[in-house]
Amino acid sequence: MWFGMAAAIGNTIAAGIVRTPGDVARLLPNAWMFLGVWVLGGLYAFSGASSMAELGAAIPRSGGQYNFSRRALGDYAGFIVGWSDWLSTCGTAAAVAIVIAEYSGALFSVLSGNFTILRFTIRIELIVAVLVILGFFVLQWRGIRWGSGAQLSTAALKTGAFVILVIACFLLGGPAHRAAAQSTASALALPSGWPLIVAIMLGLQGAIYTVDGWDGVIYFGEEVCNPGRDIPRAIFGSVFSIMGIYLSLNLVALYILPMNEISGNNFVLGTVADRIFGELGDPIIRSIMVISMLSCLNANQLFCSRTLYTMSCDGLFFPRAARVNPGGTPVMALFLSTVVGLLFLLTGTFERVIAMLSFFFVANYALSYASLFVLRNREPEMARPYRAWGYPWSTGLALGASVLFLAGSILTDQKNAPWALAILALSYPVFRIFKWVTQRADASAAASS
């Protein structure tokens, strides 16, 4: 249970909580509306938690939501979920690595700047990002115990650091709070009518993306000793822990800063720390964020390898990616995930990949909730150590919210949604190619035996 929570907290709480509060405040410059969006994001996660817990406990396989869609809706639906999940997670790993490098460069000048080799100018931050990704590859390649140990320790460090930061801000932030309360420039105009609805939708989009990752334990289903008990506990524990930290950090921002300084601020926590700790504030918050994102990168590498491993076991990727080393790590899947992450990093395409495939994050949730309905009807005798409370209403609410959110994303994100739909159209020929390759491999193995 603790490892499942560590994976979810490590993956979820990263750079998003630094940038998203400023974006939400810019859209909704009102304290109650600002907090309301975060509460709604948490309720969305909570509404789906029991459904995901039932699926995870009933189908305890590594690889994430891919397993649920494949069992309920067939190989192609599973392929879409697994493939998009794998690519977007590899892209996220690249993005997190470059942010780690940039924050480290701000803390230590020797890790920033450029150097020239054979008339080629190379960013030191890029080298640091590559080394960080390779470092976690080596760590996880040694075995499950190394990867899980790193996840538990980094998640505990980041959680403790954020808790200490929140307590320090409330204990020491009295003068800053009084100054913020007396600020005459803090009142900003709140939109009304249709613009208000659009602002709420966009703010909710940012909050849900930032909260996403609370179900991290399902990527390790077959590595959990007692999945029927520990997967539901880890999921609910993750939702409550993540939302507790997020709401506390946003309350701290409202307590220390006037709304006009939160609105549009890309480094809200840094500004908060500056008000409390003075010139030490920026180094403190950047150090916390480096630890936080190291935990996130380790979790992303763990997720990537498990998704690709399980797809390979099911004949939806190259069979060699299903090989596991003596330490229990799917080493070929980990190697391929690392290579793809490095390619995204070196080509600078990770931002586009994440933007295009973020559409699939909620689509995958929608397919998972639909899978629960299908499996309840088609396989009523399936062993279910945990059953979703409030079914079918709670599952239907989560499914409906996901569909509405997808519709809103298509309407409000005209830049990236069409690319996501294009990837969906192109996924079928790729699916058929992998099926053909695995069928030929199986036929060849049968002939040789």
Q: Are 304 and 86 in contact (CB under 8 A)?
A: yes
Q: What pLDDT is recorded for position 198?
A: 79
Lowest mean pLDDT among 51-65, 202-216, 305-319, 369-383: 202-216
Dist. CA 400–CA 413, nearest whole Å: 20
Q: For 257, phi and psi rounded to 5 degrees?
A: -115, 145
Cα angle: 350, vertex 354, 356; to 5 degrees: 115
Domain-located, residue 446:
no
Dist. CA 292–CA 294, nearest whole Å: 6
Q: How much is the mean pLDDT over the chain? A: 85
Q: What pLDDT is recorded for position 424?
A: 75
Domain-located, residue 120:
yes
Q: What pLDDT is recorded for position 403?
A: 86
Q: What pLDDT is recorded for position 54?
A: 94
Q: What pLDDT is recorded for position 231?
A: 93
What is the 3 state secondary structure string of the chain? CHHHHHHHHHHHCCCHHHHHHHHHHHHCCCHHHHHHHHHHHHHHHHHHHHHHHHHHHHCCCECCCHHHHHHHHCHHHHHHHHHHHHHHHHHHHHHHHHHHHHHHHHHCHHHCCEEEECCEEEEHHHHHHHHHHHHHHHHHHCCHHHHHHHHHHHHHHHHHHHHHHHHHHHHHCHHHHHHHHHCCCCCCCCCCCHHHHHHHHHHHHHHHHHHCCCCHHHHEHHHCCCHHHHHHHHHHHHHHHHHHHHHHHHHHHHHHCCHHHHCCCCCHHHHHHHHHHHHHHHHHHHHHHHHHHHHHHHHHHHHHHHHHHHHHHCCCCCHHHHCCCCCCCCHHHHHHHHHHHHHHHHHCCHHHHHHHHHHHHHHHHHHHHHHHHHHHHHCCCCCCCCCCCCCCHHHHHHHHHHHHHHHHHHHHCCCCHHHHHHHHHHHHHHHHHHHHHHHHHHHHHHHHC
User: Which domain, by its residues, includes 22?
Assistant: 2-382+391-439
Other CB atoms within a 10 A radius of the CB of residue 429 amount to 8
Tokens 């115990």 found at: 145
Dist. CA 112–CA 73, nearest whole Å: 49
Q: Is the pLDDT of residue 416 over 90?
A: no
What is the pLDDT averaged over residues 260-279? 86
Does 326 sit behind a cis peptide bond, omega within 30 degrees of 0 on the bond before it? no
Domain with residue 197: its CATH number is 1.20.1740.10
Tokens 């239907």 found at: 396
Q: List, in order, residues 6 or more apart from 410 with CB less than 8 Å away.
A: 359, 417
Of 448 and 375, the structure prediction assigns the larger pLDDT to: 375
The reported pTM is 0.86
Q: Is the pLDDT of residue 412 over 70?
A: no
Q: For 421, phi and psi rounded to 5 degrees?
A: -65, -35
- Reported as a single tens digit per residue, the pLDDT across 306-363 is 999 999 999 888 888 888 988 888 999 999 999 999 988 888 766 666 666 667 777 8
Domain-located, residue 444:
no
Dist. CA 64–CA 80, nearest whole Å: 13
Of 33 and 114, the structure prediction assigns the larger pLDDT to: 33
Sequence letter at residue 257? L
- Reported as a single tens digit per residue, the pLDDT across 417-438 is 677 777 777 888 888 888 887 7
- Reported as a single tens digit per residue, the pLDDT across 177-205 is 888 777 655 566 777 777 888 788 778 87
Q: What pLDDT is recorded for position 39?
A: 92
Kind of pairing between the strands at 114-117 and 120-123:
antiparallel
Q: What pLDDT is recorded for position 265?
A: 86
Overall domain count for the chain: 1
Of 447 and 256, the structure prediction assigns the larger pLDDT to: 256
Domain-located, residue 447:
no
Dist. CA 4–CA 211, nearest whole Å: 16
Domain-located, residue 445:
no
Domain-located, residue 144:
yes
Q: Are 34 and 189 in contact (CB under 8 A)?
A: no
Domain-located, residue 449:
no
Q: What pLDDT is recorded for position 413?
A: 64
Q: Is the pLDDT of residue 25 over 70?
A: yes
Tokens 């954020």 found at: 162
Q: What pLDDT is recorded for position 134?
A: 95
- pLDDT band (50, 70, 90) for residue 120: confident
Domain-located, residue 448:
no
Tokens 């599973």 found at: 78
What is the pLDDT averaged over residues 281-291? 87
- Reported as a single tens digit per residue, the pLDDT across 148-184 is 888 888 888 888 888 888 998 889 888 888 887 776 5
Sign of CA dihedral 401, 406, 408, 409: positive
Dist. CA 266–CA 251, nearest whole Å: 17
- Reported as a single tens digit per residue, the pLDDT across 385-408 is 999 988 899 899 889 888 887 777
- Reported as a single tens digit per residue, the pLDDT across 74-89 is 999 999 999 888 888 8
Of all residues in the chain, what percent carry a pLDDT higher than 70?
93
Tally of CA atoms within 13 A in the half-sphere of 273 that contains its CB: 20
Q: What pLDDT is recorded for position 349?
A: 65
Instruction: Report the candidate in 271, 273, 276, 285 with the shortest Cα–Cα distance to residue 107.
Output: 285
